[in-house]
Amino acid sequence: MQEPGPHMAVPGHNSEANSWDGGKHEADTAVEEAINLELENSSYLRGWRLHLASLSTCLCLFLVNSEVSVVGTALVSVVKDLDGIDQMGWVITGYLITYTSMIIIWAKLSDIFGRKYTAIATVLIFTAFSGACGAAQTMNQMIISRVFQGIGAAGCWSVPLTIGYEMVPKHRHPIQGAQFMTAGALGSLAGPLIGGSTSQSGQWRWAFLFCVPLGVATIILLQLALPASFPHQGDPQYQHPTWRERISRKSLSRLDVSGAFLLLGGTMLIVAVLLEGGLSIAWSSGPAIALFVVSGVMWIAFLGNEWFFTKHERTLEPIFPWRFMHNKPWMGTLIFSFLSGIPYNILIINVPQRYQDVAGTSPLTAAIRLIPFNIFISVTGFVVNGFIAKRGVACVWILLVGSLLQVGGLAWFCVLPEDGTIPLMIYGAQILTGLGIGAVMGITLLMPPLVVEKRDTAISSGALLQFRALGGVLGLSITTTAFNNYLKTHLFIFDSLSTSDMLKAVQSARDFSPEIQHQIITRLAEAYNLQMKILIGFSALQIFVIAMIWRKGNQIRVVDAEEEKAASSSASNASGTTIATEADRGAGKLG
């Protein structure tokens, strides 16, 4: 505490009585304001708890993003060792189905069972089945382990993001968001490098096993850092429930079981058909059409379920309350999250594959070539969250600039040569696109607390991430289908083969004669450029979605510079007056 100096007026030393009374009244008011401010901020973490909580949540995001991308460079070695080339697609599909389906469900569970224990449970599941993936002896074991790993990964994203919103006051959200962006980008950067290096040395199991010690450390940090009653630990009226109360009928009746079932089923079915359509399932086949129809029915039923339980307020708490549909800025944020997930997910797969298929580089070298993309996503997210948004720049302007940068970077990818060479200009395209994606992802990460009610903090963070994951899956399906169809219609030497057999033949292009090799490599380069043209369309759509977030009056800002300055000044004045009052009371006792 600052000691009162000669420059600080101490109430009680004024010679006029009326001044004394006025000063005493002002001091008492300031003391009350200071106490209210302290009570208001007491729910936030401070000191070592804050540092450990920040580290643990960032580790969660790092682990999930690394595992999403690690398989891309390790999968070939996994399939060869476990002798399961016919099932290789399900190593990725199984993970993505559960990961995409469970994000918002975990977020809602944290409302009922508490942030701390839900976060620990998700990390425990993720860590245990990461170890199971590393120990798998058959492809079936690997696929099952990946399915459960995806369940844990979904919660490792949504629950820590909610904790990040709640452990610091609003004016510190930009710094927290910058840390999250950096952790996520570093995970996406480390995944391909770890997968490439371990598979190249014949030690692919470490692509999964490295998560085990980091996961255990994360659980310990969460246990130490988060109070059991987080985020209500500063509320004197909050009664911390026992575990018996948490699993009581009254508590469980808050669960939107029907909504969770419909969301889980609808998402799993649509993700499965999108990822396997054209490969193990023909688009026009009966199973594919049935999956589309059933998924569509479940999505419609899910929306009806959420509308009914939101309109008829009961104990049950909807997973996606209908009030979201009437919140235009929030729906615009969700669409932005959906669209931004498309180029990101495609590029972290497209760029390394382009290097391996077209230039013939090793998996590790291909992963290294992706470094500029991930680095600039991280740097831009940090700058946008930590500096630009913190200075009160309107969110719509950041989204607009980020969308335009994305379009420019993807257009640059489209003009890459199709003769089998990859020039240095690809790094410029990576940097420009990374700048745009980093800006959009960084600001959308901070939007939920700005446009939704406080009671919806958890489910809004889950919805934001679930929309991003769904966008990534849809984009992957569309671009992969376009890629495969282009090769199928332009590589006439393989037109009699099925799609999966054609892709296997393309992977062995180096075994053909020079003429055939040149034809395959040229068509591959053209197909990769076609994917970039599709991505331009999705990124351009973001520019039109800005109209949903635009406001005629004051624009949405992460931090209002004037309000923050006034709040800081008020807190400082209140603190100073409190000290002066205490000094005055002490002087009175001495007198």
Asked whether the CA dihedral 143, 144, 149, 150 is positive or negative, the reply is positive
Q: Nearest CA to 228 among 214, 212, 250, 245? A: 245
Contact (CB, 8 A) for 514 and 458: no
Q: How confident is the model at residue 584 (pLDDT cuts 50, 70, 90)?
A: very low
Q: Tell me: pLDDT of 560 over 70.
A: no
At 567 the pLDDT is 47
Contact (CB, 8 A) for 436 and 373: no
At 42 the pLDDT is 57
Q: How confident is the model at residue 123 (pLDDT cuts 50, 70, 90)?
A: very high
Q: How confident is the model at residue 39 (pLDDT cuts 50, 70, 90)?
A: very low
494-536: pLDDT as tens digits: 766 766 677 766 766 666 777 887 888 888 888 899 999 999 9
At 564 the pLDDT is 53
Q: How confident is the model at residue 23 (pLDDT cuts 50, 70, 90)?
A: very low
369-380: pLDDT as tens digits: 888 888 888 888
Contact (CB, 8 A) for 534 and 480: no
Rounded to an integer, the average pLDDT of 449-462 is 87
List of residues 6+ apart from 261 with CB closer than 8 A: none
Between CA 347 and CA 243, with CA 105 as vertex, the angle to 5 degrees is 135
**SS3 of the chain: helix, strand, coil, percent, to 5:** 80, 0, 20
Cα–Cα distance measured from residue 170 to residue 558, given in angstroms and rounded to the nearest whole number: 8
Q: Tell me: pLDDT of 443 over 50.
A: yes
At 296 the pLDDT is 94
Contact (CB, 8 A) for 267 and 470: yes
Domain residue ranges of the chain, discontinuous segments joined by +? 42-233+243-256, 257-308, 326-562
Rounded to an integer, the average pLDDT of 262-287 is 83
User: For 215, how many CA atoms within 13 A lie in the half-sphere containing its CB?
Assistant: 26
Cα–Cα distance measured from residue 89 to residue 93, given in angstroms and rounded to the nearest whole number: 6
Q: Please compute Rg for the chain using Cα positions.
A: 27
Cα–Cα distance measured from residue 416 to residue 420, given in angstroms and rounded to the nearest whole number: 10
Cα–Cα distance measured from residue 317 to residue 417, given in angstroms and rounded to the nearest whole number: 54
Asked whether the CA dihedral 275, 279, 283, 284 is positive or negative, the reply is negative
Contact (CB, 8 A) for 403 and 440: yes
Cα–Cα distance measured from residue 435 to residue 380, given in angstroms and rounded to the nearest whole number: 6
State the architecture of 42-233+243-256 in CATH terms: Up-down Bundle (1.20)
166-205: pLDDT as tens digits: 888 888 888 888 888 888 888 888 888 888 888 777 788 9
The pLDDT mean for the chain works out to: 81
137-167: pLDDT as tens digits: 999 999 999 999 999 999 998 899 889 888 8
Percent of the chain having pLDDT more than 70? 84
DSSP string for 448-479? HHHHS-GGGHHHHHHHHHHHHHHHHHHHHHHH
212-233: pLDDT as tens digits: 999 999 999 999 999 888 887 7
Between CA 463 and CA 470, with CA 469 as vertex, the angle to 5 degrees is 85
Rounded to an integer, the average pLDDT of 52-74 is 87
CA distances from 112 to 150, 259, 310, 319, 321 (A): 22, 15, 17, 12, 16
- Region class of 114: left (phi > 0), else alpha (psi between -120 and 50), else beta: left
User: How many residues are there in the chain?
Assistant: 591
At 184 the pLDDT is 85
Contact (CB, 8 A) for 62 and 191: no
- Equal fold, 42-233+243-256 vs 326-562: yes
Contact (CB, 8 A) for 499 and 279: yes
Contact (CB, 8 A) for 29 and 153: no
Cα–Cα distance measured from residue 77 to residue 118, given in angstroms and rounded to the nearest whole number: 34
Q: Nearest CA to 418 among 532, 536, 496? A: 532
At 571 the pLDDT is 44
Q: Nearest CA to 435 among 505, 489, 473, 378? A: 378
Q: Out of 3.10.450.100, 3.40.50.1370, 3.40.640.10, 1.20.1250.20, select the CATH number for domain 326-562.
A: 1.20.1250.20
Asked whether the CA dihedral 237, 238, 242, 248 is positive or negative, the reply is positive
Higher pLDDT: 553 or 522? It is 522
Match 């376009």 to its residue by tokens. 482
Q: Tell me: pLDDT of 60 over 90.
A: yes
Q: What are phi and psi of 253, to 5 degrees?
A: -65, -15
Amino acid at 485: N
Rounded to an integer, the average pLDDT of 470-497 is 82
Cα–Cα distance measured from residue 520 to residue 513, given in angstroms and rounded to the nearest whole number: 11
Which of 127-131, 260-264, 447-451, 515-519 has the largest mean confidence?
A: 127-131
For the ranges 211-220, 405-414, 419-428, 556-565, which has the lowest average pLDDT? 556-565
Q: Tell me: pLDDT of 580 over 50.
A: no
Cα–Cα distance measured from residue 18 to residue 6, given in angstroms and rounded to the nearest whole number: 22
Q: Tell me: pLDDT of 537 over 60.
A: yes
Percent of the chain having pLDDT more than 90? 27
What would the 3-class secondary structure string for 504-515 be? HHHHCHHHCCHH
For the ranges 76-85, 421-430, 432-441, 503-512, which has the lowest average pLDDT? 503-512
Cα–Cα distance measured from residue 580 to residue 89, given in angstroms and rounded to the nearest whole number: 70
List of residues 6+ apart from 282 with CB closer than 8 A: 288
- The three-state secondary structure class of 517 is helix
